[in-house]
Amino acid sequence: MTDKNHNENSDFTTEEELFLLRNKDGKVVGIKDLRQANFQATMKDWKSHLPKMKPVSIIIWIIIALLGAIAWSIIAVSRGETINAIWFVIAAVCSYIIAYRFYALYIQRKIMQPDDSRATPSEVHNDGQEFDPTNRVVLFGHHFASIAGAGPLVGPILAAQMGYLPGTVWIIFGVIFAGGVQDMLVLWYSHRRDARSIGAMARDEVGKFAGGLTSFIVFIMTMIVLAVLALICITAMAGSPWAVFSIGMTIPIALIMGVYLKFIRPGRVNEVSLIGFALLLVAIFAGRWVSETPSVAHIFTLSQSTLVWWVMGYTFVAAIIPAWILLTPRDYLSMFMKIGTILILAVAVIGVRPDVTIPALTNFAGNSNGPVFAGSLFPFLFITIACGALSGFHVMMSSGTTPHLIKKESQTRMIGYGGMLFESFVAIMALVAAISLNPGVYYSMNTPQASMQKLVGKAYNTNATNTTNVKSAAIAAEGNAALAIPKIAMNPNGKPMTIDWEGTTGQAALRQVAKDVGEISVVSRTGGAPTLAVSMSNILKRVPIIGGTGMMGFWYHFAVMFEALFILSAVSAATKSTRYLLTDALSNSKRKAIKRFGDENWLPGKIVTTAIIVGVWGALLLMGVSDPNGGIRIMYPLFGISNQLIAAAALAIVCVMVVRKGYLKWLWIPAIPLVWDVLVTFTASWEKIFSGNVNIGYFAAYSTAQKAVNSGTLSGVSLTNAEATVRNSLIQGSLSVVFLACVALLLILCVIRVITVVRVKQVGAEFSSETAYIPSHLFETSSFWATKLEHKVLKNKK
């Protein structure tokens, strides 16, 4: 050892040296976890050096476990009694902490076994563009902002139709045993394979045909998911100068942060965080001024079609330029707003302690007649709550931008599993907001006018849909809701629902809700997003200083902007990740001209492939905003199923990689969520294809609508809608058949591959497609907060 290295080591004790990972130059590059088999093999007496848990830590973990058990018992057992929403926050937080500390760490030690002496792709290929070693906190912000789209906000709101219990159980236990496992393992296997996409990993591990099939499945389904996400974002921003201005300002703020962190003050994450946060607050409050100043507001009051082109343009540029310039700092900035808003809501729930107004199980949990969405609890609740528990969409980030930026292997658990836990908490808070809202208001907002008409019958006021006078339509819709809601059989005890808002009831209550939040009407504002905004404003208005009825309009529009920002971050990051999938596929072409476009270092190739991706989902999006009876809206029912089918494909490939690495006895870890996801998605697909219920089955709806068209009794709007149903249902059903067949074929190929490699004993490190070991020269802590030894290493480096 050289004198230089000796001086570097002088502050470490002999015991501390046992835990230090050094490269061949003697530089500290990581910390050993002696409970991992790969490090135990290097130390004979490793057991004697294992750190022991202190009594204080044991007591803390016992308290956390007891709190969680009490919260779960209250949520699960209570029937008929009033439950406080605070127990949902406690149950979620305690479950997440225990899962992260024990289950995720168990998976890390048994399957992953990270080695920080090994360089990650960002260090090996550091080019300051596609590959760039990124601070763990900044990367966590980018990853979280990228995966947290509309799913954790909208899905739980819709699922509240079936009661609070099934949604709560799936969101929390789903993320622990399924969503977090998928995100963490896909990220792990990707950066161990030079940041390969999920399609490229399938080709390497399962076979060429399986790789092409996986790329096709993920690409097509992701286009549908991106278009639906963008549509929700566009809908939230359209006509809102506040949202357009504030969200638009995050772009120059992110550019300032990127340049500051890269050139002016490298590594000063805390400084740039404060600067970015301060500027973000200025943008938010300035947005309110813009919306209230007519001479300026009209500049930022954009139509849906105009916003489509702006969003497409921004996404195209963000996907091409280096991530550190715009994408990463903007997503990190978005993280402040996202996590900050959810934490504010969580603190408000703890302080206000609102009561839960919806039963544990409603009547709709046992039938398929729900007005919010059709279908039984199994499988459709698990499809509706998409990203909050398990999301195939996350595969695009876990095998896309994130493995290109992660600095150390040991950060995989924090970013992959931890990021998914945070998203699940977002879903829980969305669910809490929905179930603390008056049920009559909830169903008034989420029941479409078509369903209202069926409930009301001849008393239905057609002005709700036929008049161009906005105020007249609003009054008619509120009157229809006042008649329809009491007829919705939601309560198991048979008690009719009432619409109540701060002492007012019926139609007057709905009028007051709209007035409080600054909207013309809130009736039939389906999709979940408006309900979340009303629920958040209703809870936050009770908080001192920032609350009050006069602030409801502020919090409502803030929530709308918050949701739009959530989704836009996911769309921009997923576009870049999808390009990696496409270029990985093109790089394997035998034709040189096509193969050239798979080179990520060739700018023309990046431009063309990005343009193709943005063009596909942008075309679907343009159809959606220009044609209210068709376009992307026909794809919306496919959103949840497509999302979960991607997860099934990803988990199947993960299972193959686990077996080929030689970890057959740990196969159950990814296999359990895979089996469950296959049961859910295949059952849902089967019902959507073959069900005779016109509210569920695509072809049943097609047949019914076609007969109505052929009857010659329809005209005008009725005929147009029926023809749209014929066209849309046929497309939906056909796509469902193709998607189901493709994923079923991929699953068969993966099963055959596993059986083959086990039979011929082609398992172990020598048969894995992992890239060769390259020593690291970087050090960074593995989690948000450095351990005592990590602090000492960082201090010794200065």
Query: Distances from the Cα of 572 to the Cαs of 312, 317, 596, 639, in angstroms?
Result: 9, 9, 24, 18
CB contact at 8 A, 458 and 407: no
- The rounded mean pLDDT for the chain is 89
- Between CA 441 and CA 58 the distance in angstroms is 45
Look at residue 10 in the predicted model and tell me its pLDDT.
Answer: 59
- pLDDT, mean of residues 176-201: 96
CB contact at 8 A, 136 and 415: yes
Look at residue 532 in the predicted model and tell me its pLDDT.
Answer: 86
Look at residue 82 in the predicted model and tell me its pLDDT.
Answer: 85
**pLDDT by residue (tens digit) across 682-699?**
999 999 999 999 888 999
Q: What is the DSSP letter of 368?
A: S
| Whole-structure pTM value | 0.90
- Between CA 398 and CA 182 the distance in angstroms is 9
Domains, the chain, in order of start with CATH, read: 3-52 (no CATH), 58-238+302-438+556-767 (1.20.1740)
Asked whether residue 14 carries a pLDDT value surpassing 60, the answer given is yes
Q: What is the DSSP letter of 264?
A: I
Look at residue 5 in the predicted model and tell me its pLDDT.
Answer: 47
Instruction: Using pLDDT thresholds of 50, 70 and 90, give the confidence band for residue 267.
Output: confident
| Beta carbons within 10 angstroms of residue 459's beta carbon | 11
- Between CA 647 and CA 652 the distance in angstroms is 8
Asked whether residue 264 carries a pLDDT value surpassing 60, the answer given is yes
371 SS3 class: coil
For residue 413, give the amino acid letter. Answer: R
Asked whether residue 630 carries a pLDDT value surpassing 60, the answer given is no
Q: Which residue has the tokens 């190929």?
A: 749
- Between CA 736 and CA 661 the distance in angstroms is 34
Phi, psi values for residue 243, rounded to 5° = -65, -45
Helix residue ranges per DSSP H, 711-764: 716-759
- pLDDT, mean of residues 262-284: 83
Q: Which residue has the tokens 């002016």?
A: 264
CB contact at 8 A, 387 and 115: no
- pLDDT, mean of residues 448-472: 86
Q: What is the DSSP letter of 695?
A: T
- pLDDT, mean of residues 55-78: 95
